Structure formats: C-alpha cells, structure tokens
Amino acid sequence: MKNQLGELRAGKTWSQGDLAEKLGVSRQTINAIETEKYDPSLPLAFKIARLFKQPIEKIFVPAD
C-alpha cells in the first residue's frame, strides 16, 4: 500500500514523534507506515484520515 503520510506530516511540520503522540502509537509505527513496510489497521487509518481531514483513499492508495 502506497501512502501520502510523510508528505502530509511534513506539510504540518510535525516530527514522526509528534504524529505518533497524536495518534496514540509508537514512532516506529509511523516510520514503518511512511516507509511502506507496514499497512495500518482500519481504525488507525481512520484516525489518520480524521487527523489530516482527508478521505482515506486520498492518503492510502493500493500498490497495483
């Protein structure tokens, strides 16, 4: 799954740690999502979408 999380976070000038704290996850999780090594659960994807006020499908795009 490809995602725009890194770009969205950079747009808000938040560090990975800041975003992790806002979402209630570890910094490692944010890093793993941004580097596309880990796909978040649906509840976490919704939290991310709500935080950035974007639809999920704009942030997360299937790889194929």
Partner 1 sequence: MLYTRGVNTPNTLESLEPCSKQYSLKADLKLNTWLAVATVVALVSQYLLRLNPFWSSPLRAAVALAPVAPGLLYVRSWFRFVRGLDELQRRIQQEAMLFAAVGTVVIGAVINVLDTNGIAVPGLRHGLELGGTFYAMGGLWLVGTAIANCRYK
Binding site for partner 1 (CB under 8 A): 21-26, 28-29, 31-32, 37-38, 40-41, 44, 47, 50-51
> 7 vs 41, which CB is nearer to partner 1?
41
Q: Is 3 helix (H, G, I), strand (E, B) or coil?
A: strand
- Report the C-alpha gap between 57 and 27 in whole angstroms: 23
| Minimum separation from the CB atom of position 58 to partner 1 (A) | 19
| Minimum separation from the CB atom of position 23 to partner 1 (A) | 7
| Minimum separation from the CB atom of position 52 to partner 1 (A) | 11
Residues 6+ apart with CB under 8 A from 5: 19, 30, 33, 34, 48, 59
